[in-house]
Amino acid sequence: MQNKRVVLTGDRPTGPLHLGHYIGSLKNRISLQDGYECFVMIADVQALSDNFDNPQKIKKNVIEVFKDYIATGIDPQKCTILIQSLVPELFELTTYYMNLISVTRLERNPTIKNELQHKSFANSITAGFLSYPISQAADITAFKATHIPVGDDQIALIEVSNEIVRRFNRVYNTDILVESEVILGKTSRLIGIDGVAKASKSLNNAIFLSDSPEVVKQKVYSMYTDPNHIKVSDQGRVEGNVVFAYLDAFLNDEDELASLKSQYRRGGLGDSVLKSLLNEILQSLLAPIAEKRATIIEETILETLVHGSEVARGVAATTLRAVRDVIGITYN
């Protein structure tokens, strides 16, 4: 029977992780690590696709992302944490998969199209960025992942991976590659504090897991609410209200949440009260993460990552040998 494997296909180390990562997929990964064989990747090569001119930024943030993993509860005794660039088998698999998907299909991918809107590529899209979904397919299939915890903005990328799996198995008359199933969190996409786009490192509109209590409070109190809700007695709009979007994600008492929405809609509930409540909730969530983060010993981080990458490389190498065999390009 196929082992149940979870693969985190790559938080890109372009900065520390934020609440969108936590609620979108990281919380799921933490809960799944006891029941699944788990591979957690830091996708440094994918991060270079739009940061190739600033590699030191990527290298620095590999360490920061690792700290966020450990601080939130990812356990390297339960999960294999790896650096993408230390598993070269992934890039050979990527090359083989490039023959199984068209450029047109990649350009139609909604995740890629959305990312391009926020990048400065203009008409100079790099091949590395466009092939990001192929690289992710290699990350998934190298470990024969059966389940992928992601936000809903990543579903289209997983669909590309499954398309590649199906075509590979059909073309080479095999079943060695397996399709993966998406696992969505309670809130699969978190809006940014500006209310304009999803929370993003590149847009600097997110609350980061490593933000200080003062910064968290400042960001919460700067959140967009309802511009027509001027007085406490005014009827307020919940839809499109960033504070309520975050309460939806982080307030666990559904009865209390429903009561707050009802009171806000009919009038009599001030924005400052809501922001104070949200600030308390987020401070309670982030305080133990900050405490755990402060205990991480810097000198052990690279050792843990190198060891995890070596373990992952052994698994990926087994998949790669099987792929070469069915393609027919083995020579010994």
* SS3 label, residue 287: helix
Q: How confident is the model at residue 183 (pLDDT cuts 50, 70, 90)?
A: confident
Element (H, E) at 219: helix 213-221
Q: What Cα–Cα distance (Å) separates residue 80 from each residue in 29, 42, 83, 242, 309?
A: 12, 11, 10, 35, 8
Question: pTM for this structure?
Answer: 0.87
Third-level CATH fold of 5-190+301-327: Rossmann fold (3.40.50)
- 213-292 under CATH 1.10.240.10, yes or no: yes
Residue type for position 18 = H
pLDDT tens digits for range 129-151: 888 899 999 999 999 998 888 87
pLDDT tens digits for range 296-329: 998 899 999 999 999 999 999 999 999 999 999 9
For the residues 230-241, what does the mean pLDDT come to? 92
For the residues 91-109, what does the mean pLDDT come to? 92
Nearest to 21 by CA among 5, 42, 6, 51: 42
- Going from N- to C-terminal start, the domains of the chain cover 5-190+301-327, 213-292
Torsion of CA 78, 79, 80, 81, to 10 degrees: -130
